Copies of this chain bind each other. A is one copy, B any other.
Amino acid sequence: MIYSFANDYAEGCHPSILRALAETNLIQQAGYGDDAYTKNAEKIIRELTNSDADVHMIAGGTLANLTVIGSVLRPFESVVAASTGHIYVNETGAIEATGHKVEAAPSADGKLRPADIKPFLNKVRGHHVVRTRMVYISNSTELGTVYTKQELTDLYTFCKENDLILFMDGARLPMALTAPSNDLTLADIAALTDVFYIGGTKCGALLGEAVVITNPGLKRDFKYHLKQRGALTAKGRAMGIQFDQLLRNNLIFDLAGHANRMAAKMANAFAAKGYALSIDSDTNQIFPVLSNSIIPQMQEDYGCLVWSIADEDHSVMRFITSWATPEDVVDEFVKKLSGE
């Protein structure tokens, strides 16, 4: 295989992280997120979000999702996600294992709008059904799409009018915020959600997601939830150092922007070659519709996923780029594709 576009966690981490790990290695630090590096990363996040948010580093996305959602909901309350949402389709029932129903709203583009959520609020049977209390969105979505400022404002307003908590899964938030069509800032995200996270794993870190809680009502006792779910890391420094590096000088956004640009190059090449793109994504995931006849060779050369069946002769494929995707590899891919 020449290069894999199967996912965005195939390489290690940005070299500046490795340098920082080495430089700080023998400096003793407090455990469980009370180290100086985590504190500094938290400070940067509060500055970037223009907020007094609480920040907690968690080792992975599913662990972040189940810890956050489990901390917010009372036993009979549910969370709504898009039918494509990670918590609904790809976490082995992690949310249900905390006792809560995930309700799925059909969504063609991976995004949720107030109209998608309304049906869950009009339950007439009262205490015979779960009460919807939380909305889970991802940005960028599982389909690579991003929320506009207007869309997020509408959704957050709707949530506040209906006593709903809005939670954004930001595993690829840096890609969203650097997408060409994006008009949101990190401060907007903080102002227009109750809790969200900034993904590290897929954006230049070895591992780690930085959960940012802006709703004061959700801050209390969060470390108890972290500990109970196994999400409180003894050497919190290992994540603190990474976010401290990634958040300096815009690094994490530079890395995400690179991933987006590499994907755009590929998308353009597919389009130029006459392939449809089944979803209009301008982040690091693209979904070209390929003829089944060329897929075996494509997969031999480049790791990529058959996403869904388009018709008898065509499949929707998924290609993902990352902060680490070399531009020359992409250029060669484009050249090969054009030459075919």
Contact = CB atoms under 8 A, between A and B. Distances in A.
B101 A99 contact: no
B28 A4 contact: yes
A63 to B, nearest CB: 3
B13 A127 contact: no
Copies per assembly:
4
B12 A230 contact: no
Given A28-B10, A92-B130, A66 B22 contact: no
Quick one: which of A22, A97, A99, A233 has the most chain B CB within 10 A? A97
Contacts of A62: 227, 230, 232
A259 interface: no
Contacts of A310: none
A216 interface: no
A169 to B, nearest CB: 13
A118 to B, nearest CB: 15
Given A12-B235, A127-B221, A228 B28 contact: no
Contact of A127 (B21, B101, B226): B226
29 contacts: A3-B28, A7-B31, A7-B234, A9-B235, A11-B27, A61-B234, A75-B97, A76-B92, A76-B221, A76-B227, A89-B129, A91-B228, A93-B100, A93-B101, A93-B130, A94-B229, A94-B230, A96-B99, A96-B100, A96-B101, A96-B130, A99-B99, A126-B223, A127-B221, A127-B226, A131-B221, A202-B234, A206-B238, A229-B230
Given A13-B25, A75-B98, A207-B234, 6 more contacts: A3-B28, A10-B31, A63-B231, A66-B230, A97-B100, A131-B221
> What 8 pairs between A and B have smallest CB-CB spacing?
A63-B230, A12-B25, A76-B224, A127-B223, A10-B28, A92-B227, A62-B230, A93-B130
Interface of A: 3-4, 7, 9-13, 15, 18, 21-22, 24-31, 59-67, 70-71, 74-76, 78, 89-94, 96-102, 125-131, 201-202, 206-207, 221, 223-235, 237-238, 324
